[in-house]
């Protein structure tokens, strides 16, 4: 019996697997590993596929120093800068995406947090969307407080996105203006308000294999069921501008190992997917079952029509499930 088969059987039986066991998977034969991960995905999730889109609802001028981010004011990236978009602009975008078959739509804003005035505008936007557009509304607003999360939830926003980004140990190497603990606190506040959580990481920032595993287990401990896998797209002017993008095989391995650790999650290919020659197709055969479609925050993405065609060809069924 191979190591992969042995660990796979434990996962299928819902038995606990250890960080040491998953570390061994990073050296396992890639095709066997990915096939096993896809089997785990099908066992726990069937052929359901969660596809979402995002809107860059507020851009640039962020005073956080995340080293991967084109929107940080610490770096000269010539990123487009604008304040929170109007209610109508965001509504029109949500309707366009819903008409394309998208079932989940997220507002993403730059900066560490939002003011109470901005929260009121977002709440007005959410209420307008859910009154007449058949789409779930999510948000990524940084580190909000308890009352702000409560207001958003009461307005109809059902899910908060807040990436842990990397392991707790590696986090200070990536960002010094807020902490891993700040992220955990914000996530728990959103959960306490009644929201589900979308949280993942960014890969290719110089993290170790152990950092990747530690991140996955942190997400597991938090009970996160929607997990974006972002791939560093090196942006000129940021500290990571000279990082070498991950290979397709490295990304497939990350996706597969995350599936072993988080068997019931929607593992979502997110930013940087366009760097992959096959646009993520091989990852969707390696355990991934969700994606962000359309343009990303500051980089071009993959069109909704292209993604919908690929999802259908792979035998998935687009659905939406809140957990």
pLDDT at res. 133: 95
Q: How far is Cα 127 from Cα 56, in angstroms, rounded to an integer?
A: 19
Residues 6+ apart with CB under 8 A from 19: 213, 214, 217
pLDDT at res. 60: 76
pLDDT at res. 61: 84
- Which ranges of the chain would DSSP assign to H, the alpha helix? 3-12, 19-25, 30-45, 87-99, 116-132, 146-155, 171-174, 180-192, 209-222, 248-261, 304-313
pLDDT at res. 300: 54
Closest CA to 292 of 134, 116, 154, 105: 105
Q: How many residues does the chain have?
A: 323
Return averaged pLDDT per consecutive 10 residues of the chain, 323 residues in all.
92 94 94 98 97 92 90 84 94 94 94 95 97 95 96 96 98 97 97 97 97 98 97 94 96 98 97 93 98 68 89 93 67
Query: Which residue do the tokens 């796979």 mark?
Result: 8
- For residue 282, the SS3 value is coil
pLDDT at res. 1: 65
pLDDT at res. 119: 97
Domains detected in the chain: 3-318 (3.20.20.70)
**pTM across the whole model:** 0.94
pLDDT at res. 320: 82
pLDDT at res. 79: 81
Percentage of residues in the chain having pLDDT higher than 90? 88
pLDDT at res. 80: 85
């Amino acid at each position: 019996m191979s190591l992969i088969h042995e660990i796979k059987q434990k996962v299928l039986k819902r038995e606990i697997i250890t960080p040491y066991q998953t570390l061994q998977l990073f050296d396992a034969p890639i095709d066997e590993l990915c096939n096993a991960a896809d089997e785990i995905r099908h066992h726990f999730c069937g052929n359901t596929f969660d596809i979402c889109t995002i809107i860059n609802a507020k851009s640039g001028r962020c005073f956080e120093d995340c080293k991967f981010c084109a929107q940080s004011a610490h770096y000269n990236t010539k990123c487009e800068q604008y304040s929170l978009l109007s209610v109508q602009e965001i509504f029109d975008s949500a309707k366009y995406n819903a008409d394309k078959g998208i079932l989940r739509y997220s507002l993403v804003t730059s900066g560490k947090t939002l003011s109470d005035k901005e929260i009121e505008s977002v709440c007005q936007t959410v209420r307008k969307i859910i009154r007449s557009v058949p789409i779930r509304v999510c948000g990524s607003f940084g580190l909000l407080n308890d009352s702000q999360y409560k207001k958003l939830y009461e307005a109809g926003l059902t899910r908060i996105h807040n990436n842990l980004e990397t392991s707790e140990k590696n986090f200070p190497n990536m960002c010094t203006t807020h902490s891993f603990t700040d992220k955990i606190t914000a996530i728990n506040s959103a959960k306490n308000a009644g929201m589900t959580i979308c949280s993942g990481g960014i890969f290719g920032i110089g993290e170790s294999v152990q950092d990747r595993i530690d991140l996955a287990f942190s997400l597991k401990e938090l009970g996160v069921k929607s997990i974006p896998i972002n791939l560093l797209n090196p942006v000129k002017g940021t500290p990571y501008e000279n990082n070498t993008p991950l290979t397709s095989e490295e990304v497939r391995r990350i996706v597969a190992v995350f599936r072993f650790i988080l068997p019931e999650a929607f593992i979502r290919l997110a930013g940087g997917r366009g760097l992959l020659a096959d646009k993520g197709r091989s990852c969707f055969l390696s355990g991934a079952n969700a994606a962000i479609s359309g343009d990303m925050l500051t980089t071009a993405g993959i069109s909704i029509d292209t993604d919908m065609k690929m999802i259908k060809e792979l035998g998935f069924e687009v659905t939406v499930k809140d957990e």
